[in-house]
Amino acid sequence: MPTPARQRIAAVDLTPVAFKDLPLLNAVGVHEPHAIRTVVEVRTDEGLTGLGETYGDTAHLDRLRRAAELIVGTDAWDLNAVAGQVRAALAGDAGAGGHGMAGMVTNSSTADAVFSPFEVACLDIQGKATGLPVSTLLGGAVRDRVDYSAYLFYKWAGHPDAEPDSWGAALDPDGLVAQARRMIDEYGFSAIKLKGGVFPPDEEIAAIRALRQAFPEHPLRLDPNAAWTVPTSVRVGRELDGVLEYLEDPTPGIEGMAEVARQVSMPLATNMCVVSFADLDPGIRQRAVRVVLSDHHFWGGLRRSTLLAGICETFGVRLSMHSNSHLGISLAAMTHLAAATPNLNYACDTHWPWKSADEDVVKPGALTFEAGAVAVPTGPGLGVELDRDALGRLHEQYLECGIRDRDDTGYMKRVDPSYELKKPRW
């Protein structure tokens, strides 16, 4: 058994990959036919490999490459040293963006987003070196299953010029209820989130009411990704008071959210205005949100996310979890983090059902949904194994698909040249 005392990082491999995505609509456009990610493999002198997964956009990939060079030689147990090397690699890079969130999250911390997959990979190594699951390294699992929510999207029947996909169109309340029914039948989810900001607010209110009628017991959330003005947010917030468990990012910015919060009684949640440690002071002081959706991909990894959880607990802010289109390494990391976060108050978001079952970079079997939850892996590290053939296939797909930066707005404009990006729209 290798000694856990020191695991020198000997090499880092970064592999951009693309996997098929469906035409999911949101406040800034529509998902392209492929989603892109980067798979991070950190190797040690002693032959252990840790896995991480992050965004695949060009600027981010470039920053990852610079950081990867500098972390070679550091100890996978010394996460502060790894973070220091990442910061050193980024020195002079004032750039923001390029994080793969289609312009929806713009002021998250670049250093935290770049550090995150290396931290996850180092924790995977630490787990493999000690035989302990990552949840134990994070302080111990307080639950052995992590609940996820049914993440509904308005969507077209298929990508333009392609056959309709198996989910078909969901452009009205009936379509969304049918989508929710299939997702709940297949995965057993016991909470529902609707991605809004696509149609005028009254249509989305009608959709929520239809979901409430069809699923009387499921907690509901609506997330228009800041597509509404303050007055629109207040009106919708009042109309849906008592119907939603929370309203996510109705309007842009901490000040706007705080103004809405003063006028509606239901909790407001965010993964757009409080997205880094620098946002916590103004966000909490101004009482802009009662729920923060954490996301280890931009909050600086799993340990920084548990720090966020502690700060939220101290100030009485509740915690949920955000997702973007992702593969199995991210699902494993999210599940370990959620398991080790006592004050996680809601079922986590996941885009998992939108991914083809036959496309992943991890071998099947380690992560399965049952009754809307994923059992926390109990093997060493993240508990998932890289499928090298699949990694190669998805890398080929990345090379062939031509997508280098997520661009929901550009894709929408190619399909509908009259489309205009408006923030807020209503």
Ligand X SMILES: O=C([O-])C(=O)C[C@H](O)[C@@H](O)C(=O)[O-]
CA distances (Å), origin 410, targets 32, 81, 188, 329: 9, 39, 35, 28
Q: Which stretch binds Mg ion (CB under 5 A): 23-31, 113-121, 147-155, 240-248?
A: 240-248
Query: Measured from the CB of residue 249, what is the shortest distance to ligand X in angstroms?
Result: 6
Coil, strand or helix at 94: coil
Among positions 37, 43, 128, 195, the unique one binding ligand X when judged by CB under 6 A? 195
Q: How far is the CB of 156 from ligand X (least distance, A)?
A: 14
CB of 157 to ligand X, least distance (A): 18
Instruction: Report what 53 binds from ligand X, Mg ion, none; CB cut-off 5-8 Å by kind.
Output: none
Which value, to the nearest 10 degrees, does the dihedral of the CA atoms of residues 55, 57, 62, 65 take? 30
In Å, what is the CA distance from 77 to each residue of 9, 36, 109?
A: 10, 29, 23
Cβ 226 to ligand X shortest distance, Å: 9
What angle do the packed helices 110-130 and 302-314 form, to 10 degrees?
A: 110
Under rule CB under 5 A, residue 271 binds Mg ion:
yes
Q: Where are the alpha helices (DSSP H) in 221-344?
A: 230-239, 254-263, 277-285, 296-299, 302-314, 328-339
Near ligand X by CB under 6 A, which window of 114-122, 200-208, 280-288, 316-324?
316-324
Q: Determine how many CB atoms are found less than 10 A away from the CB of residue 356.
A: 12
Q: What does 110 bind: Mg ion, ligand X, none (CB cut-off 5 to 8 Å by kind)?
A: none
297 binds, among ligand X, Mg ion, none (CB under 5 to 8 A by kind): none
Read out DSSP for 354-413?
GS-TT--SB-TTSS-EETTEEEPP-SSBT---B-HHHHHHHHHHHHHH---S--HHHHHH
Q: Report the residue closest to ligand X, judged by CB.
A: 26
**Please, what is the minimum distance in Å from the beta carbon of residue 345 to Mg ion?**
16
CA distance linking residue 72 with residue 55, whole number of Å: 21
5 burial (CB, 10 Å; 0-12 / 13-18 / 19+) is exposed
Instruction: Closer to ligand X by CB, 54 or 74: give it.
Output: 54
Report the residue number, 7 or 149, with the smaller CB distance to ligand X: 149
Amino acid residing at 27: A
DSSP sequence for 252-273: SSHHHHHHHHHH--SPEEESSS
Angle at 345 between CA 147 and CA 271, to 5 degrees: 90
63 binds ligand X (CB under 6 A): no
The residue among 12 and 293 lying less far from ligand X, judged by its C-beta, is 293
Can residue 322 be called a binding residue for ligand X (CB under 6 A)?
yes
Segment contacting ligand X by CB under 6 A, of 69-77, 100-108, 202-210, 389-397? 100-108
Answer for which of 109, 126, 271, 306 binds ligand X (CB under 6 A) is: 271
Using CB under 6 A, count the residues that bind ligand X: 14
- Is-contact 110 29, C-beta < 8 A? no
Q: Which stretch binds Mg ion (CB under 5 A): 158-166, 216-224, 233-241, 283-291?
A: 216-224
Nearer to ligand X, 26 or 54 (CB): 26
Find the helix or strand (DSSP H, E) in which 185 lies. Answer: helix 173-187
User: Quick one: which segment of 79-87, 101-109, 120-128, 418-426 binds ligand X (CB under 6 A)?
Assistant: 101-109
Contact between 57 and ligand X by CB under 6 A: the answer reads no
Q: Which does 320 bind (CB under 5 to 8 A by kind): Mg ion, ligand X, none?
A: none
334 lies in the binding site for ligand X (CB under 6 A): no
- Using CB under 6 A as the binding rule, whether residue 321 contacts ligand X is answered as no
Q: Is residue 225 a contact residue for ligand X (CB under 6 A)?
A: yes
The single residue among 15, 108, 294, 324 that binds ligand X, judged by CB under 6 A, is 324
Residue of 223, 245, 360, 405 interacting with ligand X (CB under 6 A)? 223
How far CA 230 is from CA of 71, 99, 270, 358, in Å, comes to: 45, 27, 15, 43
Does the footprint of Mg ion cover residue 233 (CB under 5 A)? no
Say which residues have a Cβ less than 8 Å from residue 333's Cβ, sequence separation at least 6: 52, 53, 120, 134, 296, 302, 382
Give the angle subtended at the CA of 134 by the CAs of 131 and 298, to the nearest 5°.
150
Catalytic residues: 195, 322
C-alpha closest to that of 27 among 101, 100, 96, 97: 101
Rounded to the nearest whole angstrom, what is the least distance from the CB of residue 196 to ligand X in the complex? 10
Residues that bind ligand X (CB under 6 A): 24, 26, 101-102, 104, 195, 223, 225, 271, 322-325, 349
Residues that bind Mg ion (CB under 5 A): 223, 248, 271
